[in-house]
Amino acid sequence: MATRGFEELRVYQLSEKLADEIWKVVSEWDYMAKDTVGKQLVRAVDSVGANIAEGSGRGTYQDNRRFVRIARGSLYEVRHWLRRAYSRGLLDEENTLSTKLLLRELMPKLNAYLRSIGCPKNND
């Protein structure tokens, strides 16, 4: 039975949506903010989807799980950088609300995806 490509996974699609939203926000910041918090935030959020993709292509369940765990760590890093951005006045209320909503949806889906990865049951 063929498995779905990572592009079809809702968790991956959400990671792309979050990354695109953060990119739009950071692209409007001044140089200092982009060069410090912005670069770190964009790298962390892009790492979420990249690790989901890489794990799916590794060929073993163990490697896939390991990369999804790395993606989860990157998502926690995103939360950290968003907190820093908010405390430094770089995010307005609309940006804060939209990213919080995406994070609230993405985190449990990422955890559920991690739990779903495993050896297929032998139906014999």
Return the pLDDT at 124: 37
Q: Is residue 3 part of a domain?
A: no
What's the pTM?
A: 0.89
Environment class of 71 (CB within 10 Å of its CB; exposed 0-12, middle 13-18, buried 19+)? buried
Q: What is the mean pLDDT of the chain?
A: 92
Whichever domain contains 59, its CATH number is 1.20.1440.60
Query: Domain total for the chain?
Result: 1
Tens of pLDDT, residue by residue over 98-108, are 999 999 999 99
- Boundaries of domain holding 29: 9-116
Residue 59 pLDDT level (bands cut at 50, 70, 90) = confident
Q: Map tokens 């063929």 to a residue.
A: 2
Q: Is residue 102 part of a domain?
A: yes
Q: Is residue 123 part of a domain?
A: no
* DSSP classification of residue 59: S
- Residue 119: which residues within 8 A CB-CB, separation 6 or more? 61
